[in-house]
Amino acid sequence: MPSYVIPDKCDGCKALDKTACQFICPNDLMVLNKDSMKAFNREPEMCWECYNCVKICPNQAVEVRGYADFVPLGATVTPMRSTDSIMWTVKFRNGTLKRFKFPIRTTEEGKAVPDGGWSTGSDDLKSPVLFSEPQSLGLPEVVTIKN
C-alpha cells in the first residue's frame, strides 16, 4: 500500500523551501499543499513503498502499510531515527506493540568519505573501463573502441 500522510501530524516541515519528504522521494511523488501546509502523495499508484519518506519525516507523519509477511494485516509500522540506529514500532490490530532497533551506520555521522579514499577525476568518469580494470581482468590493458 502506498504512503499516506497523517494530516494531524504533518506540519509541512515548518514551511521550508522543500519538505523532507519531497527531498527524499526517489519518484518525486510528495507535494506540499501550501494552503493547508500538509504534504500528500500525488500519485499513490506510482509509490514504490521504499519507506524513504516514512523514515525521514521528523514528525512520523507518513505511514506505509507493508505487505502481510512484514506487517500483519491491520497493523502499522512507524520508524524513529536516531543518529546511529532506527527503531521500528509495529502496532498490531489488538493494540500490542513490538519494537525492533537496528543500527543504520558504522561510520560516524558526517564522517563518510564519498569516494572511499579512491579519488576519481573527470577522465575516470568518462572512461568505459571499470575502476578495478584492467588488473581485475588480469590484462595489461582493456581494449576499447576509440571514437
Active site residue ranges = 48
Instruction: Name the site residues for ligand SF4 (rule: CB under 6 A).
Output: 2-3, 5, 10-13, 19-21, 24-25, 27, 29-30, 32, 39, 41, 47-53, 57, 59, 61-62, 64
Which C-beta is closer to ligand SF4: that of 70 or that of 131?
70
Q: Which three cell numbers mark 87?
A: 527503531
Beta carbon of residue 80, minimum distance to ligand SF4 (angstroms, whole number) = 13
Asked if 54 and 25 touch (Cβ cutoff 8 Å), the reply is no
Question: DSSP string spanning 60-71?
Answer: --EEE---TTTS
Secondary structure of residue 39 in the 3-state scheme: strand
Beta carbon of residue 51, minimum distance to ligand SF4 (angstroms, whole number) = 6
Beta carbon of residue 91, minimum distance to ligand SF4 (angstroms, whole number) = 19
Question: DSSP string spanning 119-141?
Answer: ---HHHHH-SS-TTTTGGGT-SS
